[in-house]
Structure 1
Amino acid sequence: MIEGLLVLELKVLVDERGWFKESWQRARMTAEGLPDFRPVQANVAFNSEKGTTRGLHAEPWDKLITVGTGRVQGGWCDLREGSPTYGQTQTVEIGPGTAVFVPRGVANGYQVLEDATTYLYLVNDHWSPDAGYVNVSHKLIDWPLTPRNLSEKDRNLSTELQPVPPRKILVTGSGGQVGRALRKVLPDAEFTTSADFDITAPPERNWRQYQAIINCAAYTAVDDAETDPARAWAVNAQGPAHLARIAAENNLTLVHLSTDYVFDGASERAYREDDPVAPLNVYGASKAAGEVAAGTAPRHYIVRTSWVVGEGKNFVDTMRGLAERDIRPQVVHDQKGRPTFASELAKGIAHLLTTQPEYGIYHLSNSGDEVGFDELAMAVYTGLHRDPDMVQPVTSEQYFEGKAHARRPSRSTLDTAKIEATGFVPQNWRVGLALYLL
């Protein structure tokens, strides 16, 4: 059996006039396990003689097949790259009471079993001469009749299998810490920077050939956002709105990164996903608006995170540089939370896309004890065999005295119980730090 190829029984109502059936009924069929594949085109092929054989054609879209009149034998070969049933074939007889869902990348063909047979199918992308087709010989299937009326093209197809790559994943803002970490976890994704993919004015793509968008693009200059709110809102709120529209129109999953700064820090416990947002600054407000926008995509994961540490400018690397120069830094002690290593965040995002739990908001940081920035700095100094007492704890008021700055939440620890319930257990941040400092 080919994985993902689904055979459905259709209710056929018969009377003296003939018969009636619902060949596509979204609510019922999706409830029975059919993917909500959002068809955009309906096709009909009339076949005058039994024995007529077509295929096998692996087109870059999903299909739902049935017949209007007559019967056919459907035949399929799995050409999906990485599929557990790659190379396997399957056959099913299709009459008025049968429908078959054929996933993208499974080569499809059929043989007509009765004269004057009408073959019907829905697809979720428009036909194009420029689409990527991978076809294979009908000889891979054991047909009940001697094949006839083959097209010249089908007659000459090879039995050699060619893998069909899966739908793509687009990563925006890939020059940042999370984008760089995702390159190691999702090496086959398409990575874009703001220079070639501006989320405030997304360029055209054939979005039906994508399965997901991971939005790592963001305006993250917390203090600058206070004096440049228009740019912060354009990137952090309007950008996700554009991506959500694209995702909704093309049945894509949108993964959107958000922040602990949507909270005000007044909670006496770690923040859960359903806690009300109350941002203290323009940056946090723009990110909270971005969450609302991203949530309009039917298939969305909003991933809130905190204190990201990865390849690029980050707090841990700053402390490392100071420690290696034996500098005694002043570090705030009244902002509490937990760091998130970009490598762990990338793994969590990949986990959501792979396991596909319920759509919604998920908190994702490394696990472990809640600390202030001063304690995190001390841990860096200790890990580099420097005296942690070199770190001088100060209040935020003392640190920012005389400087223009945005208010920060005093506590932004995120409760990760929800994502842990899906099977992803984040690494303790102290373990992550030790490995990062190697």
Structure 2
Amino acid sequence: MLQSISKSLAALVVGVVLGGCHSNAQTAQSADPLSEYHGLYTPSNTEEFQTSMHTNHPDYDWGVWGHNLAKLVKDEATDDMYAIVDGKRSSKQFCFSSQSLYNKVREYVLDQYGWGTADYSERISIMPMDNKTVCTCNDCTARGNTSTNATPAVTAFVERLAEEFPRHKFFTSAYHTTNTPPTTSLAANVGTFVSSIKLPMRVDFTKTEGYNEFVQNVKAWRKQCSRIYVWDYERNYDDYLSPFPCLLAMQARFRLYRDLGVQGVFVNGSGDDYSAFDDMQTYVLALLLDNPDTDVHESIARYYREHYPQTADLLTTYYWGLEQRAQSTNHLLPLYGSMQEMCESYLDVKEFVSFRSQLDKASKLTVGDERKRLNALLTALAYTQLEMYRTGLLAKDEETIGEMREILKGHSELKGMNNRDESGHSIDDYLKKWE
């Protein structure tokens, strides 16, 4: 659904990309909304964090994840596994009526996870390639496919697997060509991810067309599918390094999902790439997934008191101010936004420069883990200030620009701070452009 998933997982060996690393039993479906799956695709959602905060991560919790079916097939793909589009074979999409494709997936599931047991099952997602191409071969068309709707063939494929492996759970997606719900009820061990991409990223979205469309889509899928998860988004995917005050907006979304009876949520963040304030935001998001009515301000303050004892007040005051501004203006938070758009929405240039300067001075009085965390944050915020200079939001100041560039060069010594966005544009290339 977003490039960060496939790009990050592509670097992993197939056993991790497709198979995950867990062998724990998955609990039976719970009647409690949001209780079944708390997926966070963020650098701070480590194995230790998952254990302590009861969160999930796609690298560990799925037999096949997202749009990674192509990685399962790999070099063993045959022509008949691919779609017929406009009368021609296309390797850009699968044919979900293909017996060869089914045999390959079946073989993989059986080899890696067996039939499952009363105490063990695997989550396996079967999604088309991430585009709007649909197979319209004779078999897929006979199942009900059209040039824009792949749901009939995809759900038939998933239902067939679910029937053969009743102890495993199989998921498809309500996204792009599979957004239309099936016309018949799906098995109890079949679920779907409904994408929230059209639900505006703002604190109050209830008066928008996207809200009505999303709610109706969830309700329509619930009529045919008993297990509904939401695939959600919480980052500016064009800029991981600048502040993005998403917590009050995410709280509103989680409350909506709870009211709609959604059983699980996957929150797509920056994957393995560092993003500003991610450690605190991941902590608060985990709390909100447990209870959407959690006090966001108190949770932010508590996290900073524990992990940033010397600078907690400064960090809490500044970040909470961003959240309050986003709430009071109810401006759209850009999932793909420029520095100008962020400043129109919630960033105040002078306030930011003052905050970064104060935090830099305060950091010199800190030690240990707090000093390390602040070093990473200040490195990221140097990029934000450089972008303000580059886009003309700040008047040119060669001395300060040079200082920010030197700070940003330190990214190479920090874990996960290589890329500045979802597309994989590197910080090194950015610095070269300044030269």
TM-score by length of 2: 0.28
- TM norm structure 1: 0.28
Which structure's residues are more often helix, by fraction? 2
**Higher RCO (CA < 8 A, seq sep 6+):** 2
Q: Which has the higher strand share?
A: 1
Q: Which structure is larger by alpha-carbon Rg, 1 or 2? A: 1
